[in-house]
Chains A and B, each alone.
Chain A
Amino acid sequence: MRAMPSIKLLNVTRTYGRIRAIDKVSLEIAEGEYVCVLGPTGAGKTTLLRLIAGLTTATSGAIELDGKDITDVPPENRNASYVPQQYALFPHMTVRDNVAFGPLARGFTPEESLQIAHEMLKLVRLSHRATAYPHELSGGMQQRVALARGLAGRSPLLLLDEPLGAIDARLRVILRYELKKLAKELGVTTLHVTHDQQEAMSIADRIVVLRDGAVQQFGRPSEIYQGPRSPFLASFVGGANFLEGVVVREARDATMIDVAEGFSISSSRDGHGMGDFVIASFRQEVTLILTNASLEENVVPGRLVSISILGAFLRCVVDLGRIGEVVAKVSLREALGQRLPDRVGDVVYVRVDRNRIMIFDRPERPLAVELEAF
């Protein structure tokens, strides 16, 4: 039985002139893992994939597949299957011949290759379109052909570059689960590049967040969501509210932060000292809106500026005066119960549980730049 490779990157760097597309990245991915590479455009995600595929060579550092150093091995000998963003199906070949190409290239006879192709097409439920040409298929079907082709090559490693990028929003939500299921069924190690954090959160075993060529955080979705290591991560993965302030009191399991001339909020986190400049951050769905004043801690009065409907949630923007603006995500049910749509313009109160307030050091660059806000 052939062993599945693990992927190891050791301080890999790739430069183009003065631009560092990939900056000293070190990673270890276990056999059979489904890892999403997440980040904004230009973060280096595609470059990372191409480095592992061998289509781009590293400027420095080493890459190991299954314990063997393959840094200088050309792509055709690496056994890592690459599926680019636009699928790049061979337009002059039928679906079946597209899928049979991999086995053929690896030395299987034409008969064997067709046999393998048929099995793969059955797996992706496209047997009935085996003799069609790529341009005759819908986007979702083309994606499945691209997958089947990538998997038919018997590669134990699958590299997907924005596989759902060309698919409608609604369809994406359905297809991403199918993608994960297929990969797991075949036991392939998968690297899935995306800029959509919801996509990554929903199907990844672990997520690598890249920015400007460097790894920001690498962990399970829940780890990154509940414990982001920087304001950028808090904002990029899941979105959050940010308040700048100064620590005015600190004790074990409690920190008080002054966010605007005398007004403070309390967090159950610690680790920062008196006088430190910090950013207090909390998720939108734990930003509660109350219609009546309350004496509990962390309650701020404000004005309900606007409401947007997101389906199951309502996005409510509340102006807290000197403190700033915050966004609250309220479930549709609750919002209708509180009659929030009728309260636009009214005074409301915002409350955040102390256990849900994260504290970050204030970054060197201004916060807006740090978060790449527009």
Chain B
Amino acid sequence: MGRGKKVGDGSETGRPPRDSSTSLKRRALLFLDSASGSRGARAAAYTLGILFFLIIVFVPPVFGILLGGSKIFEMLSHPDLMSRGGSAIAASFAIAVTVSLLDLAAGLPMAWFIVRSRSGWVSTIDTLANIPFIVPTVALGYSVLAFWSGPQGIGSLLGSQFVFSPGWQTIVLLHFAFSYPVIVRVMVGALQGYKEVYETAARTLGASPLTAVRTVSLPLLKPALVAAFLLAFARSLSETGATVMVAGAFENGPVFIRNARAAGEQSPLLFVSLVLIVTSSLFFIAIRILAPKMHLPISTVRPNLEKRLSSTPALMSRNLLVFLVFALFVIVPSLFVVLPGASAITDGTLQEAVASMGIWSKYWQSMGLSYLIALVATCVNVVAGLPMSILIARRRGGRVVSGVLDTLINIPIVVPSIALGVSIGIFWGGVAGISEFWLLVFAHASITYTYFVRSMIAAVESIPLEVEDVARTLGARPLMIFRRLTIPLSKYSLMAGAIMAFTRSIDETGATLAVAKNLTTAPVLMVDWVKGTVAASPHAIGLGLGILVLTSFVSLLVLTITTRRT
């Protein structure tokens, strides 16, 4: 039997003999690598991940409210409060559902354009569609308020009958604007991963483009449509700071809670928070279960009508409408804050700001606090969230456990953040020695955890299992696979997830409003400025918000640069 030449020698298991010349760092790595080979070590890491999730992220926001005890139900004996609270909750859901459906209708064609069009405008439109992401929601709130309700906004363009006074209409307009990029991003991702061959097959069988999309592509994209809907819904239900700015006298859930807190009324605060937590969680789980069973209408066929609707003039007018909606209801309102901000540069407000005079000293303090909290919360989430991501993505705990965890991690973003904050406050309130700063960090960590973990899960799931299989058979222990394969291959999503969590934290108003007594973060301060709780000129507000937008923009720029280089 011809053995042939061999290229060296090795020990029984194929590993070379160790000698004393190996460096300390290498020995440490080798030790850790082989330690990760033990099932026990890995189980410990996953268990710690799950414990962190439960203790910090999940239990306090969802169950903490129950510690409020009997005080919660005092409100039941006040019928006028009950009706006010009831209408606020109903309003929250009504607005959230309406806005999400409107956003789907407006955002889906936009996503289609971005992915399928060959026009040179695509990358510009793609970047523009992200603007509401970049602009912090408080700035967005003020911008929308100024555009739709202010004297210099749409009124000056089209006449005063188009001006809306602050109320549910402005809430709808605000929520439409900030949920729009969510829909577009999710659908763009889904479309890019969608195999166009199905649509092509439908067309070779005689289906017009519209028929093919309606009967083949949309049904196949249903999971993405549902996910996009739920995300937009969650955002609308949860948002507090900007909603407070534009609500005027109207109340939805978060506004009601904020008013109750400001007035010092405990029971309405607790009760409505509890109801919101329960209903939003149930709604989310219900949609998750029912959605796969829902069928889009695909069996009816109207070939002639759909052929005419697929024609070039029909297509162009559709695109025109989509862009018009985009411009008028998303872009312009988002950027409107630039105007007062620009004036602030010329009239001396800027010098005051830089010199930290008057209201500005508190401003810089709150900015610093916001960034510090965001940094700490994000770091904590990255470290604790990594084992969880792998656990869920690779189903390490078994299919059932991973499935349950996969659903549970979404709950903190479905529950309105102010209700979440109330619950967290009560939970940790009993624990002595927790400073307000750490309370805020926990609240922010809880809210932003999901953003990071979901991003990592998607990244890990996209690494083909075979890559890990091969690495294992080549002798790599789990930690080495993690270091040399998983992390490098998911670097982009890791950074993206971390930045998303970071910016979400900067943005956060709801839970902060509920938890903080003495500390003030930047966006909360901005709400005070706008509502007049703290006196500030429109130019100061514009400048303050403008700086917030700028710093947010810089963080996102950092993301783009660092991830592009990899």
Chain B neighbourhood of A32, CB < 8 A: 1-3
Confirm or deny: A215 has a beta carbon within 8 angstroms of a beta carbon on chain B: no
**Nearest chain A CB to B255's CB is how many angstroms away?**
48
Confirm or deny: B470 has a beta carbon within 8 angstroms of a beta carbon on chain A: yes
Q: Which of B14-22, B111-119, B198-206, B441-449 contacts A (4 or more CB under 8 A)?
A: B14-22
Residue of A1, A76, A83, A154 with most chain B CB atoms under a 10 A cut-off: A76
Q: B16, B37, B467, B473: which contacts A78 (Cβ < 8 A)?
A: B473
Quick one: CB contact mask for B458-502 with A, threshold 8 Å, 1 for yes? 000000101101111111110010001100110000000000000
Confirm or deny: A268 has a beta carbon within 8 angstroms of a beta carbon on chain B: no
Chain A neighbourhood of B464, CB < 8 A: 86, 88
Q: A50, A83, A155: which contacts B14 (Cβ < 8 A)?
A: A155
Q: A53, A91, A107, A184: which contacts B15 (Cβ < 8 A)?
A: A107
Q: Which of A16-24, A98-106, A253-261, A363-371 contacts B (4 or more CB under 8 A)?
A: A98-106
Confirm or deny: B10 has a beta carbon within 8 angstroms of a beta carbon on chain A: yes
**Nearest chain A CB to B46's CB is how many angstroms away?**
17
Confirm or deny: A82 has a beta carbon within 8 angstroms of a beta carbon on chain B: yes
Verify A76–B489 contact, CB threshold 8 A: no
Confirm or deny: A140 has a beta carbon within 8 angstroms of a beta carbon on chain B: no
Verify A2–B10 contact, CB threshold 8 A: yes
- Count of chain B residues near A, Cβ 8 A: 37
Confirm or deny: B78 has a beta carbon within 8 angstroms of a beta carbon on chain A: no
Chain B neighbourhood of A79, CB < 8 A: 13-14, 475
Q: How far is the CA of A78 from the CA of B16 in the complex (A)?
A: 15
Chain A neighbourhood of B4, CB < 8 A: 184-187
Verify B469–A76 contact, CB threshold 8 A: no
Q: How far is the CA of A170 from the CA of B460 in the complex (A)?
A: 37
Q: How far is the CA of A145 from the CA of B2 in the complex (A)?
A: 24
If the complex has contacts A31-B1, A55-B473, A116-B8, are A90 and B485 also in contact, measured as CB distance less than 8 A?
yes
Q: How far is the CA of A85 from the CA of B467 in the complex (A)?
A: 11
Q: How far is the CA of A155 from the CA of B14 in the complex (A)?
A: 7
Chain A neighbourhood of B470, CB < 8 A: 82-84, 88, 149-150
Verify A154–B14 contact, CB threshold 8 A: yes
Verify A75–B472 contact, CB threshold 8 A: yes
**Nearest chain A CB to B34's CB is how many angstroms away?**
10
Q: Do most interface residues of chain B lie in helix, strand or loop, or is the interface mixed?
A: loop
Confirm or deny: B9 has a beta carbon within 8 angstroms of a beta carbon on chain A: yes
Residue of B2, B3, B14, B471 with most chain A CB atoms under a 10 A cut-off: B14
Q: Which of A6-65 contact B (CB under 8 A)?
A: 30-32, 50, 53-55
Confirm or deny: A74 has a beta carbon within 8 angstroms of a beta carbon on chain B: yes
Q: A1, A4, A84, A149: which contacts B474 (Cβ < 8 A)?
A: A149
If the complex has contacts A106-B14, A107-B15, A116-B8, are A81 and B474 also in contact, measured as CB distance less than 8 A?
yes
How many residue pairs at the A-B interface have CB separations less than 8 Å?
119
Q: A74, A88, A116, A186: which contacts B37 (Cβ < 8 A)?
A: A74
Verify A76–B472 contact, CB threshold 8 A: yes
Q: B2, B466, B473: which contacts A76 (Cβ < 8 A)?
A: B473
If the complex has contacts A77-B13, A92-B489, are A186 and B5 also in contact, measured as CB distance less than 8 A?
yes
Residue of A85, A92, A106 with most chain B CB atoms under a 10 A cut-off: A106
Verify A184–B473 contact, CB threshold 8 A: no
If the complex has contacts A86-B466, A105-B471, are A76 and B3 also in contact, measured as CB distance less than 8 A?
no
Verify A106–B489 contact, CB threshold 8 A: no
Q: How far is the CA of A359 from the CA of B536 in the complex (A)?
A: 100
Chain A neighbourhood of B26, CB < 8 A: 109
Confirm or deny: B294 has a beta carbon within 8 angstroms of a beta carbon on chain A: no
Quick one: CB contact mask for A181-211 with B, threshold 8 Å, 1 for yes? 0001111000000000000000000000000
Confirm or deny: B302 has a beta carbon within 8 angstroms of a beta carbon on chain A: no
Q: Which of A121-150 contact B (CB under 8 A)?
A: 149-150
**Nearest chain A CB to B400's CB is how many angstroms away?**
15
Q: Which of A222-257 contact B (CB under 8 A)?
A: none
Confirm or deny: A301 has a beta carbon within 8 angstroms of a beta carbon on chain B: no
Confirm or deny: B6 has a beta carbon within 8 angstroms of a beta carbon on chain A: yes
Confirm or deny: B7 has a beta carbon within 8 angstroms of a beta carbon on chain A: yes
Q: How far is the CA of A187 from the CA of B8 in the complex (A)?
A: 13
A–B Cβ pairs within 8 angstroms, 30 of them: A2-B10, A2-B12, A30-B1, A53-B469, A55-B472, A76-B472, A76-B474, A76-B476, A80-B473, A82-B470, A82-B473, A86-B464, A86-B466, A88-B466, A90-B471, A91-B489, A92-B489, A101-B471, A102-B474, A105-B475, A106-B475, A107-B15, A112-B16, A149-B474, A154-B8, A184-B4, A186-B4, A186-B5, A187-B3, A187-B5
